[in-house]
Amino acid sequence: MDSLVIEGGARLRGAIKVNGSKNAALPIMAGALLANGPTYLKEVPNLSDINHQITLLRELGCEVERQADGALKIEVTDEKNSHARYDLVRKMRASICTLGPLLAKRKFARISMPGGCAIGDRPVDIHLRGLEALGAVIDLDGGDIIARADKLVGAEIFLGGNFGSTVLGTANVMSAATLAQGTTVIESAACEPEVADLANYLNAMGAKISGAGTPRITIEGVKELTGANHTVIPDRIEAGTFMIAAAITNGEIQLPNTRLDHLLAAVDKLRSIGVIVERDNGGCTVASVRRLEAATITTQPHPGFPTDLQAQFMALLAIADGNSVITEKIFPDRFLHVAELARLGARLHKEASTVIIQGQKRMVGAPVMASDLRASAALVLAGLAAKGTTTVMRVYHIDRGYERIENRLNAIGAKIKRVNQEELEL
Ligand code: EPU
């Protein structure tokens, strides 16, 4: 198991290319199951979650290969197996986004029910309700969701839940509705840019989707979808994480291909605490020249402040001037980073789904444990700012969502070494 050993205190300066979005690529790759013909996807990042999705697609009868130009080619060659096994689903929850495409194309899907994960309960009830509204019959057997539908018929479907809409639930229902008979209207759809990117891909395949990126999506069912070429959008969460890396080290990072329009809430918060974010050709430059101010943040569905940047902002506010408040409204238990940041000297007081952060002048390096993807990113950011050495253990979590993060940060001045646990123990 690898760890990252970080020498804190370096100011980061330079440019980093933001990779394609993991959370856009995963449902798009699943969408390729709907196609008759090959799909070519550009800007699919090289991450362990993507590799799990490739393994799953191969089990589901797809040929998947990276082309010489880096594009990922996916082509369905055998539709016999429609079973996503527990072994794969437990490694990567997003396997659930094969449910809608399999059901629509093959009329049958058997997907192991994803369990909870480090960020809390992750139910899929709304996904299932939406597919049932299209005419699917759903049963549970041996921990598997079994979904059948001789035909899907368009319907009006409400996808809101107690914590807002659902991103992958919207992806599942929207994908399934592309091949349904008649018109589907999804109300309270997730508005995340990743949903809009999936709709763009499905439309390139011949689907008729309008309104994706807004709370009402309309889908006119079509008889068949073909293969398509598509370029995945830049990863807004990776971009946000690098912006915080600039802010937390009082550095200056240029992100040449960042979609600022996908990050308005985070940029607004950064500016409000004193970070300089300047738009330039197709991207932005982020810099910080002084101690930052405190902030009050509440996570919300897009276009609100993203839960996937909550942990990273907590690391930043831990050294801001004054008391900050972060409230988590999407995953109320997503706080495993709190105890680890406290090991670095952050002063955090958690009460239900709110954390009060008493800003300190600095954090001090220590060994800490990564627990999930974004919590690990927060610990790396904290380590960049902390005095001395921080060792972030179990970095396989970070490899799920950030490609070679240490090399990319080292290229702009960070001092991070990847070591395996045995080396550490010597
Ligand atoms: N929810 C339900 N019922 C459902 C589905 C969701 O109650 O059937 C609840 C969830 O428990 C949560 C809220 O609705 O409280 C939102 O969950 P959502 O379904 O939108 O999450 P997701 O689609 O499973 C995606 C991202 C997450 C990101 C969330 C929220 C992917 C692969 N994952 O998950 O990304 O946090 O949307 O924006 O797209 C990450 O990248 O680190 C990550 C966890």
- Region 194-223 average pLDDT: 98
> Does the C-beta of 193 come closer than 6 Å to ligand 1?
no
Dist. CA 151 → ligand 1 center (Å): 28
- Ligand 1 centroid to Cα of residue 317, in Å, is 24
- Euclidean distance between CA atoms 277 and 7, whole angstroms: 26
* Each residue's pLDDT tens digit, 12-45: 999 999 999 999 999 999 999 999 999 999 999 9
Quick one: how many helices (H) and strands (E) in the chain?
15, 26
Active site residues: 117
Give the pLDDT score at 122: 84
Give the separation between CA 222 and CA 166, rounded to whole angstroms: 24
The sign of the dihedral angle between the CA atoms of 187, 189, 191, 193 is negative
Give residue 191 CA to ligand 1 midpoint distance, Å: 12
What is the rounded CA–CA span in Å between residue 317 and residue 379?
13
Rounded CA separation 23/337 (Å): 21
Beta-ladder partners of 138: 147
- Ligand 1 atom nearest the C-alpha of 171 is 23
State the pairing for strand pair 108-112/137-141.
unpaired
The answer on pLDDT for 309 being more than 60 is yes
State how far the Cα of 74 lies from the Cα of 58, in Å rounded to an integer: 9
Whether the pLDDT of residue 252 is over 70: the answer is yes
Confidence category of residue 154, pLDDT binned at 50, 70, 90:
very high
Q: For residue 401, give the ligand 1 atom closest to its CA.
A: 41
With tokens 């759809």, the residue in question is 189
CB count within 10 Å of CB 264 equals 13
Q: Is the CB of 166 under 6 A from ligand 1?
A: yes
94 Cβ closer than 6 Å to some ligand 1 atom: yes
Q: With bands split at pLDDT 50, 70 and 90, how would you rate the model's confidence at 121? A: confident
Tell whether the model's pLDDT for residue 334 goes beyond 80: yes
Over 80: is that where the pLDDT of 425 sits? no
Q: What number does the ligand 1 atom closest to the CA of 49 have?
A: 32
Whether 168 is in the pocket of ligand 1, judged by its Cβ within 6 Å, is: yes
Among the listed residues 190, 265, 257, 218, the one whose alpha carbon sits nearest the alpha carbon of residue 27: 190
Q: What is the pLDDT, as a whole number, of residue 281? A: 82
The C-alpha atoms of residue 177 and residue 198 are separated, in whole angstroms, by 13
DSSP annotation of 330 reads: S
Mutate to test the pocket of ligand 1, among 126, 163, 298 (most ligand atoms within 8 A of CB): 163
Q: Is 53 in the pocket of ligand 1 (CB under 6 A)?
A: no
Average pLDDT rounded to a whole number, residues 112-133: 87
Burial pattern 409-426, b for ≥16 Cβ within 10 A else e, equals bbebebbbebeeeeeeee
For a ligand 1 pocket test, name from 53, 330, 399 the mutation site with the most ligand atoms within 8 angstroms of its C-beta.
Answer: 330
Tokens of 57: 């697609």
408 lines ligand 1 (CB under 6 A): no
pLDDT, average across residues 363-380: 96
Q: Is the CB of 128 under 6 A from ligand 1?
A: no
User: Which amino acid residue places its CA nearest to atom 39 of ligand 1?
Assistant: 23
Give yes or no for residue 73 CB within 6 A of ligand 1. no
Substitution candidate for ligand 1 out of 19, 95, 121, 122 with most atoms within 8 A of CB: 122
pLDDT tens, 270-292? 999 999 999 998 899 999 999 99
The pairing of beta strand 225-226 with beta strand 35-36: parallel
pLDDT given at position 120: 76
pLDDT over 80 (residue 355): yes
Burial 221-232 (b: 16+ CB within 10 A, else e): beeebebbebeb
Nearest to 24 by CA among 231, 208, 163, 184: 231
Q: Quick check: 119 pLDDT over 80?
A: no
Q: Answer yes or no: is pLDDT of 426 > 60.
A: no
Q: What is the identity of the amino acid at 236? A: R
Q: How far is CA 94 from CA 49, 115, 124, 146, in A?
A: 8, 11, 11, 17
Query: How much distance in Å is there from the Cα of 300 to the middle of ligand 1?
Result: 11
Band (pLDDT 50/70/90 cuts) for residue 116 is low
State the average pLDDT over residues 110-120. Answer: 82
Enter the tokens of residue 318: 């831990």
Instruction: Give the per-residue pLDDT at 424.
Output: 65
Is the C-beta atom of 333 inside 6 A of ligand 1? no
